[in-house]
Amino acid sequence: MDKKAVTLKWAALAASMALSFNALAAEGTIKVGILHSLSGTMAISETTLKDTMLMLIDEQNKQGGVLGKKLEPVVVDPASNWPLFAEKARELIEKDKVDVVFGCWTSVSRKSVLPVFEELDSLLFYPVQYEGEESSKNVFYTGAAPNQQAIPAVDYLMNEMGVKRWVLAGTDYVYPRTTNKILAAYLKDKGVADSDIMINYTPFGYSDWQSIVSDIKKFGATGKKTAVVSTINGDANVPFYKELAAQGVEASDIPVVAFSVGEEELSGMDTSPLVGHLAAWNYFMSVDTEQNNEFVEKWHKFIKDDQRVTNDPMEASYLGFNMWVKAVEKAGTTASDVVQDAIIGVTVPNLTGGYATMMPNHHITKPVLIGEIQDDGQFVTVWETKDEVAGDAWSDFLPGSKDLFASWEKPMSCGSFNVVSGKCAGSNQ
């Protein structure tokens, strides 16, 4: 065999070995699905969570990965299209063979993918506050349930600010409607009359707030302290707060407490009309703890922009990721059914100086913070719970839910156990 033939033979062998090595390397990774909108109306919020997950994966890989393997992110774009979320979720699980998925933002996107995760017995970590009324063995809810945000916010307004009249204003979709249904029942349970509750819904992107703000102003002019509890989502908040200011409605007169306005949203707004109004979350960027300062520093370094803010869903992503890593290491495998059992009771540090624990209902423990909006787009914490609050899957204030209990800890393994009938109802039980 001549020299040229030998060279070609060795080149072919080297190429073959390289392909084999690459195949083995790929088989040796743990694939992590990232299911967040990178285009469409929700991209402004969800792209940040995609970047957060990439940062967390990068940090974990620098520490040696998980179970001795590197984590490999698999990013898809469901493009703010709710049916496409389900299609992309199936693609991640069946085609890309991911071991876990972190994603979704709106409740309609979560509900779109839920049947896919249950059918294929895969795991979803959901990092955004939501309306509750759900518990699935395949979903881990690391954002706030209503008893970890909405109910404490109403208690604060009622007990600390003496509010007697209530405007429940929301965008017209499942999260605001269900949350306000819970809040209306809670307020009535506290003795608030129907005549002291005003409920209003507007479409996504609503901009013509003049008449609604006028109605709010009139509703608050009876001599009783009035507040707005806002589940208004997205860019509709900008004209809403501007109209409040234009009509002379100040925070000292009719305060607004928002559940969907955080640092990310404020960073794109003129904050002057919002100063003094409130938001209820489980984390603020302004929290001064060693853990949070380190997190913010890592975020700025990773994103290469010292002006980028952090927010509550980012912390919820951080908590879910760390819980999953700890559960996988505890289980010694990424297998869904084993991790589902291993993660219950897993505890990790949060960014506010305490700890988050995964409860048997697949919700976590969280502190509740009320923050006042400042002119720099940050929050000053004006009130917080003394201890972490465990998330309730089912509301204690709705007739169809108050008798339901969720626990995925064996031997129960039920997301909707009726304590009156003694039976487990619903799917995926």
Q: What HEC string does 242-260 produce? A: HHHHHCCCCCCCCCEEECC
The kind and range of the H/E element at 280 are strand 278-281
Q: What is the DSSP-derived secondary structure letter of residue 95?
A: I
Q: How, if at all, do strands 414-418 and 423-424 pair?
A: antiparallel
For position 400, what pLDDT does the model report?
A: 86
Q: How far apart are CA 327 and CA 140, in angstroms?
A: 12
Q: Sign of the C-alpha dihedral, residues 64, 66, 69, 75?
A: negative
Write down all domains in the chain, each with its CATH number in brackets.
1-145+286-367 (3.40.50.2300), 150-258 (3.40.50.2300)
Q: Sign of the C-alpha dihedral, residues 288, 291, 294, 297?
A: negative
Q: Compute how many other C-beta atoms are within 10 angstroms of the C-beta atom of residue 24.
A: 9
**At 23, which amino acid appears?**
A
Residue with tokens 């938001």: 279
Q: Coil, helix or strand for 147?
A: helix
For position 358, what pLDDT does the model report?
A: 98
Q: Taking a C-beta distance cutoff of 8 angstroms, is the pair 324, 339 a contact?
A: yes
Q: Which residues of the chain have pLDDT under 70?
A: 1-27, 426-429
Q: Taking a C-beta distance cutoff of 8 angstroms, is the pair 280, 153 a contact?
A: yes
Q: How far apart are CA 416 and CA 405, in angstroms?
A: 5
Q: How far apart are CA 309 and CA 365, in angstroms?
A: 24
Q: Coil, helix or strand for 381?
A: strand
Nearest partner of 75 among 124, 22, 110, 37, judged by Cα? 37
The kind and range of the H/E element at 89 are helix 82-90
For position 27, what pLDDT does the model report?
A: 58
What's this model's pTM, rounded to 2 decimal places? 0.90
Q: Compute how many other C-beta atoms are within 10 angstroms of the C-beta atom of residue 252.
A: 7
Q: Taking a C-beta distance cutoff of 8 angstroms, is the pair 319, 325 a contact?
A: no
For position 44, what pLDDT does the model report?
A: 80
Nearest partner of 324 among 139, 130, 110, judged by Cα? 139
Q: Taking a C-beta distance cutoff of 8 angstroms, is the pair 372, 276 a contact?
A: yes
For position 16, what pLDDT does the model report?
A: 47
Q: How far apart are CA 368 and CA 207, in angstroms?
A: 30
Q: Coil, helix or strand for 281?
A: strand
